[in-house]
Chain A
Amino acid sequence: MSRIRVAAVCAATLSLALTATACGGGSPTGGGSNDSPKTLTYWASNQGASIAVDKKVLQPELDKFEKKTGIKVKLEVVPWSDLLNRILTATTSGQGPDVLNIGNTWSASLQASGALLPWDAKNFDKIGGKDRFVESAIGSAGATGKDPAAVPLYSMSYALYYNKKMFKDAGIAEPPKTWDEVVAAGKKISKGGKWGLAAEGSNLSNNIHQVFVLAKQHGADWFTADGKPDFTSDGAVAAVKQYVDLMAKDKIIAPGNAEYAQNQSLSDFSKNKTAMVLWQAAASTFKSQGMSEDDFGVVPAPVQSGAPGQGRNVNSMVAGINIAVFKNTKNLDGATKFVKFMTSDEESKLLNKTYGSIPPVKAAQDDPAFDAQATSVLKKTLGTSAAPLPQVADESQFETAVGTAVKELFADAAAGKPVTTESVKAALTKAQQSMPNK
């Protein structure tokens, strides 16, 4: 074996091992400017059934904006799976879009990176003021006590969707309001290959949304007031156990749901295999999968039985998409104008109607379209009983650590292994220990 070959192999090894973490990099330069006032690049998140659908929805609006302002907007619709990585890369390299959509749960994490333009009073004035937006939506646009890092664009909340025919066949007259009623109804339905409730056990974000709400209902938060992880409180343990027990103990969720992560539970619902699903704005998906609006009902997501108590009637997280301006933009004024346009009453109504979401703009919510069966519950939940996920810089780590713990507990439940208070606590302790030390 020649030395040259040894050296070549060593070099290849080096590059294989290191390029994974070293890609990206370089220092971004300064803040925004107005060097390029005639164009904007916009990264839209994938909201519709496909990227092509999104382009079809958004392009006419962008043309409208160009006609109004003379600014051409270059649109790129980015799939959810790529969006966060794309934003991270843009942040490190400084080469990103001018305007972009972000998941609202990422707001505080991205705010910490300093990549996004802060929305102080002056910037908010340019788009009509902060008061135009629903309070809970603003609450999910950045860390408490700081200027928001983004502006709410589409809002969503969770609701309980139920299959009317399956309920009727099982002799259940009323849709459930509490978790006890969900379990009771689920047990009546769960037989002969049909199941009561659906879950997405391998989807970390979905797991987080569910256990966040349940923890609130048990009077617990996932972070202390000063932003430290608090994953092992009795309330948090009870929340995770209650969620996983729906499969492990109550047996109203099919074991196969433990490996679901690609919205398969919505297909099961449409195919009359599962009678209930907790989801954000699922009506359009059900319709696209062959259900008519009369086939399913939408009611508020369940709470605990009895009188839940102050602050415990939370039944949804504040879900949604925010629009943000990249700090490195070369068209700061144009970007602000574009945010103003996208969050105007008119556009807010139009886009939210198309996507089946709720406008975070108060004035736009008055449109009768948002009082339909499918949307009125979401709107009411958002206004009265939804809470934003913890707006802390470590939110992304929290989703991974706790979301994975719930995924593994679901895997245990599916395999018939016991899920106990101790095993839940152990999983959450490990999740908390893996969070960065402060």
Chain B
Amino acid sequence: MTTTATSPAEAGEGRAVGKNSPGAAGGQGRRPGRIRRIGLPYLLLLPALVLELLVHLVPMVMGIVMSFRELTQFYIREWSTAPWAGFDNFKIAVDFDAPVGQAMLHSFLVTCLFTVASVGLCWVIGTAAAVFMQETFAGRGILRAIFLIPYALPVYAAVITWVFMFQHDNGLVNHVLHDQLGVTDKPSFWLIGDNSFYALLTVSVWKGWPFAFLIVMAGLQNIPKEMYEAAALDGAGLWQQLRRITLPSLRPVNQVLVLVLFLWTFNDFNTPYVMFGKAAPKAADLVSVHIYQSSFVTWNFGTGSAMSVLLLLFLLVVTGVYLVITSRGSRGRKTADV
């Protein structure tokens, strides 16, 4: 891994700083200086660590404990007294012959498909827009600001507006597709039934691509202009420049971008909840709302927590595999470059 390659350099830098630092100048000052040097960062980190512990780790551990308990409305008031359920909640969540497990599996598969489609589209649109915006032209600043609007808008307001547009009787989408363009035979349903998947995907991509655009645009700033000039001199066209310079140079940026988009999209709760409420149509039943429904609507907190733990394990495995593959890829490329 790259850690091994970079460590000595970092260590070297550390020593260099140590030599030049005032604390290291005299023999007597060396010890307190080192203590300060080692202790201060931790001291500064302490408030964040305490908060992190309270806000994330404690609820997380509680969530894991809950997943092993039979936690229903009978016990929520004194949830620590709920009887132990062992692995029962997990068994219920993954029993694909029973309705709860089947619904969970369905929801999981819908979420996987949704995430792949949404992240893919966000990335393609974001990258295309960022590459396009590299050229200087009149009104570029304004256009860039417009592109970022979906990212800056409050989620609730934006998604509710989409809900209005997707309405069957009075919605703008049917008005355009059916009344004006005549693309559909009759007005379609977007908020119920099978089409709800596409409606959700549309809103998700609309909301997500400006982030990809922003990150890719930042990544593009780091590519030296000379590389393009040299490539142009060598006769490389725009497509070749994109394939040979832009995309490879963006690789580290994309690596993080895709991972972040994947995690956000997979866990997105706000968009489906605001669009469909607590009972999403089957075609758009994302796992986050499904778990919410199991926990807070049907008051099966134990099963809901078990589903959360399983989801967490899945995301950890996917993230781990992704990181290993992508970092291997970059190490291999570096070696080849050398």
Q: Which residues of A contact B (CB under 8 A)?
A: 1-3, 5-6, 9-23, 25, 27-28, 85, 88, 91-92, 94, 109-110, 112-115, 201-202, 204, 254-256, 258-259, 261, 393, 396-397, 400-401, 403-404, 407-408, 410-412, 414-415, 430, 433-434, 436
Contacts and interface: CB of A to CB of B under 8 A. Distances in A.
B319 A22 contact: no
B111 interface: no
A22 B192 contact: no
B323 A9 contact: yes
Contact of A18 (B59, B98, B103): B59
B192 A396 contact: no
Contacts of A408: 281-282
B192 A411 contact: yes
Given A21-B301, A27-B78, A436-B72, A256 B59 contact: no
Contact of A407 (B80, B279, B305, B320): B279
A113 B66 contact: no
Contacts, number: 178
A14 B297 contact: no
Max chain B CB contacts within 10 Å: which of A2, A17, A23, A202? Answer: A17
A1 B2 contact: yes
A3 B291 contact: no
Contact of A20 (B79, B288, B299): B288
Given A11-B56, A397-B298, A434-B100, A258 B189 contact: yes
B279 A20 contact: no
B74 A113 contact: yes
B263 A12 contact: yes
Contact of A396 (B77, B297, B308): B297
A204 B103 CA distance: 18
B193 A414 contact: yes
Contacts of B113: none
Main secondary structure of the interface of B (DSSP, over half): helix
Contact of A400 (B3, B278, B330): B278
Contacts of A412: 193
Interface string B192-213: 1110000000000000000000
A18 B192 contact: no
Nearest to B292: A20
A400 B2 contact: no
Nearest to B308: A21
A271 to B, nearest CB: 11
B78 A28 contact: yes
B308 A17 contact: yes
Given A204-B279, A408-B281, A6 B320 contact: yes
A28 B309 CA distance: 25
27 contacts: A1-B255, A1-B330, A10-B319, A13-B315, A14-B56, A15-B60, A17-B308, A17-B312, A17-B315, A18-B59, A18-B308, A18-B312, A19-B63, A20-B308, A21-B63, A21-B304, A88-B296, A112-B73, A113-B77, A114-B77, A259-B192, A393-B73, A397-B298, A408-B281, A414-B168, A434-B103, A436-B298
B115 interface: no
A400 B2 CA distance: 51
B328 to A, nearest CB: 9
B277 A202 contact: yes
Nearest to A401: B298
Nearest to B166: A259
B94 interface: no
A261 B282 CA distance: 17
Contacts of A410: 192
